[in-house]
Structure 1
């Protein structure tokens, strides 16, 4: 009887030790991401948490604000921002060299109000027609309206303007346009109209407190499952 009781006691202790080890292995990672990457990261974050046991504390901001946070020495485990800013951060030793990985390229595209007639043919032909119609030289400038997102704004301002009929055509990132009701996506702009600066890169700032777990997240975001999500969200992997 005594022997049986001791065996049960040791079994319980072993179980508690195992639970303690599992709990200790789980981490909370602080992630700061450019808002343009949000549609993909929202989906991938859930998959990473489920597969790894780690938790992600994510803050979204404009690429410029992410850059400010990295430079402001906030405690960040993983930062996701545009490549041009990342390259500068690496040169200035704000990002740990060798930790950066390019994840996906954002694509700008055309959107119209939901139900409006969509142009036929390739998007490249439509863009050329529209620029010709507007007058690609001096006449185009007065007809363009550049909009800037306000802090915490849920709907991209370009999409909002198209929704409300203030603009017939909107040019904005496809990954954001695909999330907005009330507009229809016509398609991506041709390659010559895409910005090379809209590539998203993930890396570890020098303030990172959990480099091993941070690397696991970055590897996950660069993996094959993530690439399928990027394509579904209107981005080009890599």
Structure 2
């Protein structure tokens, strides 16, 4: 009987993992089911002892989970790197975001700014604090619920600007991606994969993690707006 591998991941990596899981099934006959969800919810399930084999989340969350005993020691491996991009509703006026000052002006001028519960949202809040704009802009911030793409809310007109991982924005219809944040205000999130303490098949999980980082997996990462880790 072929192995059945379960996993949980953040929404940011869902498209890459769906494609790679299908390739792994074709190559090995092992069934792979990785559930994408908001990173906060995924970490909560892992902490609650949810039976699963692999976990793919932002590196800082994975480090915490391993430190708490929820990830097998030494099993973590880099999976992909992702930068933050900004988007508007299709057809809306395109603000410049080619410099730190331009990004600052775009955020200051926007009537509503949507951000996520994940690393990109945390980074936005840090930027606003750094610029002394936290209090000024706070009433115009709209946080997308866990698992809800920021781009979807921008497409519906609920916000003028949206910031999230590029991989999260790319598949959304009804938006235009202005581009990645400029280097001086960019933040790269590294996503890592690890074996859950609850895994009943850790060696099979280890083999899948190896496949996710094999040469044939790298093109899919780039196609969906990420880079190999």
Do both proteins adopt the same fold according to a TM-score greater than 0.5, normalized to the shorter chain?
yes
Alignment partner, residue 30 of structure 2 = 54
Are the aligned partners of 1:83 and 1:199 in contact in 2 as well (CA < 8 Å)? yes
Alignment partner, residue 219 of structure 2 = 228
Alignment partner, residue 203 of structure 2 = 212
**Secondary structure class of the residue paired with 1:146:** strand
Are the aligned partners of 1:103 and 1:201 in contact in 2 as well (CA < 8 Å)? yes
Distance across 1 between alignment mates of 2:186 and 2:137: 19
The 10-residue stretch of structure 1 (138-147 or 120-129) with the greater mean CA deviation from structure 2: 120-129
Alignment partner, residue 8 of structure 1 = none
Are the aligned partners of 1:71 and 1:94 in contact in 2 as well (CA < 8 Å)? yes
Distance across 2 between alignment mates of 1:131 and 1:166: 15
Distance across 2 between alignment mates of 1:114 and 1:132: 20
Alignment partner, residue 201 of structure 1 = 192
Distance across 1 between alignment mates of 2:170 and 2:206: 29
Distance across 1 between alignment mates of 2:146 and 2:194: 26
TM-score where L is the length of structure 1:
0.77
1:117-156 equivalence runs, <5 A: 117-119=93-95, 122=98, 126-131=102-107, 136-138=131-133, 140-142=136-138, 144-150=140-146, 153=148, 156=149
Q: Does 1:78 align with 2:70?
A: no
Q: Does 1:116 align with 2:96?
A: no
Structure 1 vs Structure 2 CA RMSD: 2.5
**Secondary structure class of the residue paired with 2:32:** strand
Q: Does 1:171 align with 2:147?
A: no
- The structure 2 residue matched to 1:159, chosen from 113, 127, 151, is 151
**Secondary structure class of the residue paired with 1:149:** coil
Alignment partner, residue 16 of structure 1 = none
Deviation at 1:146, TM superposition (A): 3.0
Are the aligned partners of 1:113 and 1:183 in contact in 2 as well (CA < 8 Å)? yes
- The structure 1 residue matched to 2:13, chosen from 30, 37, 51, is 37
Instruction: Say if 1:46 and 1:161 are closer, same or farther in 2 by CA, change over 3 A.
Output: same
